Amino acid sequence: MTEGPDIARIAALVADPARSAMLLALMDGRALTATELALAAGITRQTASSHLAKLADGGALAVEAQGRHRYFRLAGPHVAALLEALMVFSGDAAPAPPRTGPGQPALRKARICYDHLAGEMGVTLHERMQARGLLMGDLAGDLAVTAPGWAHLAEIGLTPVALPRSNRPLCRTCLDWSMRRHHLAGLLGKAILDRLLALAWARRLPGSRVIRFTPEGERRFHAWLG
């Protein structure tokens, strides 16, 4: 047997249509119950419980008990990154070239990818920050914030001391499902999205992955990026 990571086991976890539907339902970073995930997958709650147990045992889901309820969420941003990459691949592997990513214009423009900004606006954020020398990257997808970058982030109230302590990478790239280019993920990606929402430049649509920018918020976002 070939030595190395057991990718067959991971692939088997997401290969089932019901399990993949439940994983995608958690891509907005929420925690959902087994009943809610069963509805998302179009299966019974008993069947969903069996699938969820496999996903939790396989390390794809984290489970939290609160009162009588158990809530399921993605085990971390690495799972969201895997799902986003698989969505890119599933489009590329189709027999006829489809329109990449979601057909809904609002999802293509701006959406949440686990906990950071994706879509057109997320790609724009990453590419403009790199073009201006605010971020420096390497071939592995790891990014570092430059001194001018921190000065720029301070304009919207983000400083190194304001970020929570975490073992998570500060910032790295994530391949965007709809744009087929990279957007900004990691601790900084989450912090920037949180600030955009706190500043009321954008808001999350309830029950959706859509991030909706106000006209003034979009103007300020582009002005901030330069």
Task: Pick the closest to residue 175 from 53, 114, 88 (CA basis).
Answer: 88
CA distance 82 to 27: 11
77-98: average pLDDT? 71
Q: Is residue 54 domain-shared with residue 94, that is, in the same domain?
A: no
pLDDT of residue 189 exceeding 70: yes
pLDDT at 7: 81
In a domain, 55, yes or no: yes
Q: How many residues does the chain have?
A: 226
Q: Is 209 helix (H, G, I), strand (E, B) or coil?
A: coil
Decide which of 114 and 89 is more confident: 114
pLDDT for residue 67 is more than 80:
no
Which residue, among 210, 214, 212, 213, has the nearest Cα to 102 in the 3D structure?
A: 210
Give the pLDDT of residue 95.
Answer: 40
Do 125 and 213 fall within a single domain?
A: yes
- Residues 58 and 158 placed together within one structural domain of the fold: no
Q: Is 68 a residue whose pLDDT tops 90?
A: no
- Range of the structural domain that residue 67 is part of: 7-75
Domain annotation covers residue 182: yes
Give the pLDDT confidence score for residue 103 in this predicted structure.
Answer: 62
Same domain, 209 and 152: yes
User: Do 51 and 93 fall into the same domain?
Assistant: no
Of 75, 97, 132, the residue that ends a domain is: 75
Q: Note the Cα 5 to chain centre separation in Å.
A: 23
What is the pLDDT at residue 53? Answer: 95
Looking at per-residue confidence, does 39 or 67 come out higher? Answer: 39
Q: How many domains does the chain have?
A: 2
Shared domain for 89 and 200, answered yes or no, is yes
Q: Are residues 87 and 198 in the same domain?
A: yes
User: 49: which 2 tokens?
Assistant: 């419980």
Distance separating alpha carbons of residues 47 and 24, to the nearest angstrom: 17
Q: Can you give the CATH number for the domain in which 37 is found?
A: 1.10.10.10
**Is the residue at 2 inside a domain?**
no
**Nearest by Cα to 184 from 163, 202, 169:** 169
- Together in a domain, 188 and 104: yes
What per-residue confidence (pLDDT) applies to 179? 87
What crossing angle do the helices spanning 7-15 and 17-25 adopt, rounded to 10°?
Answer: 90
Query: Looking at the structure, do residues 46 and 83 belong to the same domain, yes or no?
Result: no
**Taking all residues of the chain, what is their mean pLDDT, rounded to a whole number?**
88
Cα within 13 Å of Cα(121), Cβ side: 29
